[in-house]
Amino acid sequence: MDLSYTHIKSAGLEDRTVYGLGFTGDALEVSFMQVNRNQENVGSAFSIASHYKKHRIGFDYLEQANEASFTRFAYQTHRQGKRYQVSLQAVENPLYESKTENRIVFSLGFDVGSKNRFYATEEESQDPDKQPEKQARKSSYLFGAIGVGLGVGMSSGSGGADGAARQASQHEAARSILNEINPTSVAINREHGGYIYRNADGSYASTTPIQGSVDSITLPHPVYITPAGTTTTASYHTHAGPDPRYDSENFSAQDLFSDIQFSLDGYLGTPGGQFKYHNYVTGSITTLGTISN
C-alpha cells in the first residue's frame, strides 16, 4: 500500500497539492490521485492493471476540472526482448469538441536495460529471494514521481491564471519558445520540446520545454501537461546540434506522423536556426523565418 502527499510551489503559479493512494500486489496494481490548486480540485487520475506471466491488461482514466478527459484500455505482452501493445484511447475536451478522438494505437518496444517485475522470466518471478524489497521500494518511488508529475502538469494554471507568457498567435508563441530554447539545445546537443496551447482569452502560450536525447524526444500526452481550461493546438521541438548522421534541418517522418496522430500542428527549430511549421490538416511544411541558434 502506498500513500503520498506532494506540495508544489512554483514562481508565478498558485500552490498545488497532490494526494495519492496506491496498491501493488502480485498480480494487481491500483492507484488514484487527486490534484488541488489552492484547495480547489483541478483534476484526478485512476489506474488499474493486472498482469499474469508475460501478459498485462490495464485501464487508465484522467479527468480535469473542465471535464477534459483521457481514457485508455491497453493489452501488452512481452516476448524475446520485444514489447507488443495495443490500446484503445479516447480524448475529450468540451472546449474543443471537434477534436474529440477515439483511436486504436499499436506499438512495439525493445528492452535495452535491466528487467522489472512484469518483464522478468518465469523462473525469476517464482523466486521469492530475488530482491523483493528493492522491487517494492522502486514502486513507491515511481508512485511519488507520478504524483509530482501530475501536480505540475494538471494544475499549471487555468486559461486566465497561470504565469506563462502570452502571445497573440500560435506562430508567435512557437517562435518565442523555440527562439529561447534552441541555443541551449544546440549547445548541449539534446532535443527539447513541448506544446503550444490556446488560453480562454484567445491568447497563446507554451509549456516548459522537456529535454530529450541527441536524436529524439518523447512528450507526454497533451492532456497531462497543458493547463486546465486551455486547448492544445500544436507541438514544438528542436533538433539538437549539427550531426552528419541526421537530416536535422527538416522534419522527420516520425515528427510528421506524431502531429497527425494527435491532430496538432508542428513547429521545428533546427541547428541552422530555421523556424519551420507543419500544418497537419493540409500536410504543408513552410519555413517561417529564423530563430536563435
pLDDT in tens, 46-55: 889 998 888 8
pLDDT over 60 at 153, yes or no: no
Contact 288, 277 (CB under 8 A): yes
The H or E element spanning position 228 is none
User: 139 and 202, same structural domain?
Assistant: no
Largest CA distance in the chain: 60
Which residue type, as a one-letter code, is found at position 24? Answer: T
- Gap between the Cα atoms of 93 and 99, Å rounded: 7
The H or E element spanning position 75 is strand 69-79
User: 182 and 148, same structural domain?
Assistant: no
Q: Which residues of 92-105 are buried (b: 16+ CB within 10 A; e: fewer)?
A: bbeeeeeeeeeeee
The model carries a pTM of 0.49
- All three cell numbers of 241, joined, read 546540434
User: 116 and 183, same structural domain?
Assistant: no
The arithmetic mean of pLDDT across residues 147-168, rounded, is 54
Contact 270, 248 (CB under 8 A): yes
Number of domains in the chain: 2
Contact 224, 241 (CB under 8 A): no
pLDDT over 50 at 117, yes or no: no
What's residue 125's pLDDT?
42
pLDDT in tens, 223-250: 888 988 899 999 999 999 988 888 889 9
Print the domain residue range for 36.
2-154
